[in-house]
Amino acid sequence: MSDNKENSKKQLLLRLSPTLWEEINQWAEDDFRSINGQIEFILTEAVRRRKKSKKEND
């Protein structure tokens, strides 16, 4: 069994407003993802963009 960072998931409690939850839930349905998968996708994209932005500003 591999023990690398990508294979081990961290859990956290996330509180969202009902409006934001509904928006993310609809987006997830549109993209055929679970809401958890959609949140992970959004966060991954935000981190990727931040890294790219930092490289361009250096």
CA distance 53 to 50: 5
What average pLDDT does the segment 2-26 reach?
88
The per-residue pLDDT for 12 is 93
Q: pTM here?
A: 0.78
Q: Which amino acid is at 46?
A: A
The per-residue pLDDT for 4 is 67
What average pLDDT does the segment 33-58 reach?
93
CB atoms within 10 A of CB 25: 14
pLDDT tops 50 at residue 1: no
Mean confidence (pLDDT) of the chain: 91
The per-residue pLDDT for 21 is 98
